[in-house]
Amino acid sequence: MKISCNRRLQFEGSNAERRFRTFLTGLVFLGLPALPPTISPALLAQTANSNAWSVVIVLPPKLVAGHPATLAVFGVDGRLASGVAVELGKDQRVTTDATGRAEFTVAHDIGGVLIAKASGSSAAALVDQAGRAEAAAKISAPPFVSIKDRFAICGGTFRGDADANHVRINGDAALVLAASPECLVVLPGPRLMPGAAQILVESAGEKMSAATTLISLLYEPPQPPLAPEKKSRLAVAVQGTEQPLELTLENQSPGVLRFLRGDAQELRSSGGAQNSASIEVTAIRSGDFSFRSRLEPAPDLAAAARYLEAAAPLAPKDLQHRLKNCAERLAKHPNDDATIRREVEKIATQTIEGDLRTLLKAAGDSL
């Protein structure tokens, strides 16, 4: 029996930035045409009518109370969405402009976290008090970033107005999606290649730099070819480094494709010249299938603890002690981070949508 599949490949940060497709017709592998990124906000922006019903909110990881900041909103089509109203706390609301971004000033009394909400979606960011926020001696970026994904740069002296910060990666301009005095969230330009990269930032009259490694994930056709109820393997090749990397692969069409060890699997690539990772799968029936792959970011235990501390007062009484205990364990026993992450994720799956779940998800993502 032949299977005709459309495989949609996606990268970190939801389906917001990039979509890749591989068409398999009669189990014949036809290729991987990419929808290339652009750093032109005018081209990325779309009307609210087509995007507002499903959005992804992008905030800087850290904000500063009383200071300007910029957020971005992506629509379901993966493009920056204009005209989307975003709630910031109880009494503040902003609407994204033609570039899909919105500038705002963080309230002085917002507390330790800010939760942004729009069209049923939410996102959280930590808030530092102005007197406590200090510029780092050197800006920092993740050691590995996907050439197709947004990532954060923190430290230095940035501007809350996204367009006042200019970022280049190996000389190629990057789009600044979100900004605060402490952090920027940028999207790499379309001409970058995997490998070592130098990040240059010009902001507030200063020039800053950081190093990273750009990673590309390439997908290969299933081996052996898919057949109903037969085991096969999906392989992900890693370009840009010979170091083993932590990846997550998520099955987004469980009715068509089954991952043999659960719909979300954490993988570690092999490392070496043929750096890759693979998982066992089974085709359940004929149809389109999709899966999402992402690099696992380096843990930020301090951020996770702050999110858990903010979540505890919102939790039912029987959970408050557990969340506080998780935050304390991160400080005293950082090597337990994987166990704590599983515990936090379990609590989150049993929690209804709302501020508590948003904070638990932010804590889990930081772990």
| Residue 265 placed within a domain | no
In the sheet that holds 113-118, the strands lie side by side as 62-64, 121-128, 113-118, 85-88, 93-95
The pLDDT value given to residue 91? 85
Cβ atoms of 80 and 44 closer than 8 Å: yes
Calculate mean pLDDT across residues 88-114: 94
Which of 191, 214, 237 represents a domain boundary (last residue)? 214
Give me the number of domains the chain comprises: 2
Which of 44-48, 143-147, 282-286 holds the top average pLDDT? 143-147
The pLDDT value given to residue 118? 95
In terms of Cα–Cα distance, which of 21, 38, 152 is closest to 100? 38
Whether the per-residue pLDDT at 298 is higher than 80: the answer is yes
Whether the per-residue pLDDT at 150 is higher than 90: the answer is yes
Distance CA 126, CA 341 (A): 18
The pLDDT value given to residue 14? 33
User: Which domain, by its residues, includes 180?
Assistant: 144-214
| Burial classification of residue 307, based on how many CB atoms lie within 10 Å of its CB (0-12 exposed, 13-18 middle, 19 or more buried) | buried
Whether the per-residue pLDDT at 200 is higher than 70: the answer is yes
Among 228-242, 284-298, 350-364, the least confident range: 284-298
Calculate mean pLDDT across residues 114-127: 95
The pLDDT value given to residue 286? 80
| Residue 188 placed within a domain | yes
The pLDDT value given to residue 244? 97
Whether the per-residue pLDDT at 179 is higher than 90: the answer is yes
Whether the per-residue pLDDT at 295 is higher than 70: the answer is yes
| Residue 219 placed within a domain | no
Distance CA 309, CA 366 (A): 13
Calculate mean pLDDT across residues 38-56: 46
Which of 214, 229, 264 represents a domain boundary (last residue)? 214
Whether the per-residue pLDDT at 4 is higher than 60: the answer is no
Please tell me which residue, 40 or 98, carries the higher pLDDT value.
98
Sign of the alpha-carbon dihedral angle for 89, 90, 94, 95: positive
Distance CA 250, CA 279 (A): 11
Whether the per-residue pLDDT at 36 is higher than 80: the answer is no
Q: Convert the pLDDT of each residue in 236-275 to its tens digit.
A: 999 999 999 999 998 888 888 899 888 888 999 999 999 9
The pLDDT value given to residue 130? 81
Cβ atoms of 165 and 201 closer than 8 Å: yes
The pLDDT value given to residue 25? 25
3-state secondary structure the chain: CCCCEEEEEECCCCCCCCEEEEEEECCEECCCCECCCCCCHHHHCECHHHHCCCEEEECCCEEECCCEEEEEEEECCCCEECCCEEEECCCCEEECCCCCEEEEECCCCCCCEEEEEECCEEEEEEEECCCCCCCCCCCECCCEEECCCCEEEECCCCCCCHHHEEEEECCEEEEEEEECCCEEEEECCCCCCCEEEEEEEEECCEEEEEEEEEEEEEEEEEECCCCECCEEEEEEEEECCCCCCEEEEEECCCCCEEECCCCEEEEECCCCCCCEEEEEEEECCCCCEEEEEEECCCCCHHHHHHHHHHHHHHCCHHHHHHHHHHHHHHHHCHHHHHHHHHHHHHHHHCCCCCHHHHHHHHHHHHC
- Record the tokens describing residue 342, joined without a space: 């599983």
Whether the per-residue pLDDT at 28 is higher than 80: the answer is no
Cβ atoms of 84 and 55 closer than 8 Å: yes
Average pLDDT, the chain: 83
| Residue 92 placed within a domain | no
Calculate mean pLDDT across residues 220-227: 82
The pLDDT value given to residue 134? 54
Calculate mean pLDDT across residues 55-67: 96
269-285 in b/e form (b: 16+ CB < 10 A) is: bbeeeebbbbbebebbe
Q: Which CATH number is 196's domain given?
A: 2.60.40.10
Which of 214, 238, 260 represents a domain boundary (last residue)? 214
| Residue 157 placed within a domain | yes
Structure-token match 């740069």, residue found: 153
The pLDDT value given to residue 50? 39
| Residue 328 placed within a domain | yes
Q: Which amino acid is at 236?
A: V
Q: Convert the pLDDT of each residue in 307-361 to its tens digit.
A: 999 999 999 998 999 999 999 999 899 999 989 999 999 999 899 889 999 999 9
The pLDDT value given to residue 55? 94
| Residue 201 placed within a domain | yes
Place 51 in a pLDDT band, splitting at 50, 70 and 90: very low
The pLDDT value given to residue 132? 58
The pLDDT value given to residue 222? 83
pTM reported for the whole predicted model: 0.82
Structure-token match 């089509």, residue found: 77
| Residue 350 placed within a domain | yes
